[in-house]
Amino acid sequence: MNNKVVGKILFYLFVCAAGGWTVWRSYHLLTLTFAPRTGEVITTSQLVLPLLGLAVFDGGCIAWAFWYRSNARGSVQRTLAFLGSAIDGLGVILASGFDYWLGGQTMAAIPPDAGNLALWTVAGFTAVNVAFIWGSHMFDPEAQDESAEQDVADEIRDEARKLVKRDKVKYARQYAPQLAQEIMSAGRAHVGRATNGHTPEQAFEIESVSDASLIDRLRGLFSSGNNGNAQTTHAAEVPAVPNPTPPPTVKAGHVSRKPRAEAADPNA
């Protein structure tokens, strides 16, 4: 076994030992924030919840480091991953130091503000990790591409609304005659009901045009106008074209002949 292999084994044993030491210190400090009051019995949640708190100390230091090395993309995301690993590493050092003072040692007097500082340390590193997770998600390259595309779509939509508001009178004058003709046609259809036993009041009722149907009709008019087929000519002005008469039916074996014109009586 060469020295390189031995060195690698010793190094990883050292990493495991140091990691176990700091993890225990961080966990013990977090259990103090869930410590039961005098006379109360410690519960299972008070022992389990501190394990989740390790995510913003030892766990965060390792997770951000792997994210930086393997998955982070873009300058912002990689910067957040690097800073997250470094800051959580600092949190591990502070948590271990506070646990030395507050973990029941009798070698030195506890500083008067050690407890407050420890609580603020836990709260502060929790806030930093939440902010970095949010930033890493928001500054993902794919999320930024989608955001840029949405910005362009929103700008186009806003500009279209401005154009519609500016030219609404022109559009109203252009398409109102067709819409009015449709409403009048509906009124004429109601007039025809008078022959089916309806009262005159019922016959002359005109159905109101709802906003939804009005918008649908306007969309149809706009569509036909864009295709060059929009016409504002009153429907009554278009002459009706009679339907063509179908040709006569010729039976098999029978020849249709026109009757001879009777000769005019010369004495008539």
Mean pLDDT computed over 160-177: 82
CA distance 56 to 84: 9
Work out whether the CA dihedral 58, 61, 64, 70 comes out positive or negative.
negative
C-alpha torsion sign, points 93, 97, 103, 107 = positive
Cα 254 versus chain centre, distance: 75
The CA-atom distances, in angstroms, between 31 and each of 199, 214, 266 are 85, 66, 135
CB 27 within 8 A of CB 54: yes
Name the token pair of 119: 């609580």
Residue 182's pLDDT band, with cuts at 50, 70 and 90, is confident
81/87 Cα distance (integer angstroms): 10
Residue indicated by tokens 């994210």:
67
- pLDDT confidence bin for 231, thresholds 50/70/90: very low
The predicted pLDDT at position 161 comes to 87
Q: What is the mean pLDDT of residues 38-52?
A: 77
Report the chain's mean pLDDT, rounded to a whole number: 76
144 vs 188, more confident: 144
At 177, the amino acid letter reads P
User: Region 118-136: what's the mean pLDDT?
Assistant: 92
Q: What pLDDT, on a 0 to 100 scale, did the predictor assign at position 79?
A: 94
Contact 86, 117 (CB under 8 A): no
What pLDDT is attached to residue 254? 47
The one-character DSSP state at 238 is: S
- Please state the rounded mean pLDDT for residues 220-245: 48
pLDDT at 185 over 70: yes
73-81 mean pLDDT: 91
pLDDT of 230 > 80? The answer is no
Q: CA 259, CA 261: separation in Å to the nearest integer?
A: 6
Q: Tell me what pLDDT residue 34 has.
A: 80
The SS3 of residue 43 is coil
What is the number of residues in the chain? 268
In whole angstroms, what is the distance from residue 70 CA to residue 78 CA?
Answer: 10
